Amino acid sequence: MARSLVKILKQEMSEIETCPDCYMNAHQNPKSWFTERSAHPLIWARLKGFPFWPAKAVKWKDGNVDVRFFGRHDRSWVPIKECFLFSEQMPTPLKNRNKTLEACLQEVNSVCVCVCVCVCVCVCVPN
Ligand SMILES: [Zn+2]
């Protein structure tokens, strides 16, 4: 019990360090925070054994990108070579685009409009 609590706290702390804004938004607007305006570029990211998936790039470190995937909003480190800036075409097209992916892309589209400006800024001026 104590150990799992420590684990949770560590996770929370690292989430706050990663992006205080997202952490706050996720808690204040659990339903809508993910598609709200944020400074994180949209990307296609691929985890080993999975297709490319739309995600937000939250931060960069040692050749890896800390991403949040659309859909389940889960977090993962993805090698930078498996990350591409988001465009309508997937880097590697899926033969069968499944419903899950379609739903995620709809979610992405609801972000795109307000994020595209931020993406340009992020790409031109990486921090
Ligand atoms: Zn953020």
Q: Give the tens place of pLDDT for each residue, 29-81.
A: 888 888 876 778 899 999 999 999 999 999 988 999 999 999 988 999 999 99
CA 58 / ligand 1 centre spacing (Å):
6
| Amino acid identity for residue 72 in this structure | R
Copy the structure tokens of residue 101. 């992916």
User: 21 lies in a domain?
Assistant: no
Residues with Cβ within 5 Å of ion ligand 1? 19, 21-22, 38
**pLDDT for the residue 64:** 95
Report the CATH number that the domain containing residue 67 is assigned in CATH.
Answer: 2.30.30.140
Cα separation, 105 vs 110, in Å, equals 9
Between 115 and 6, the higher pLDDT residue: 6
What pTM did the predictor assign? 0.76
Closest alpha carbon to 14 in 66, 79, 55: 66
Say if 4 falls within a structural domain: no
Residues spanned by the domain of 89 = 38-124
For residue 15, give the 3-state DSSP assignment.
helix
Question: 19 C-alpha vs ligand 1 centroid, how far in Å?
Answer: 5
Cross-strand bridge partners of residue 59: 66
- The CA 99 to ligand 1 mean position distance, Å, reads 27
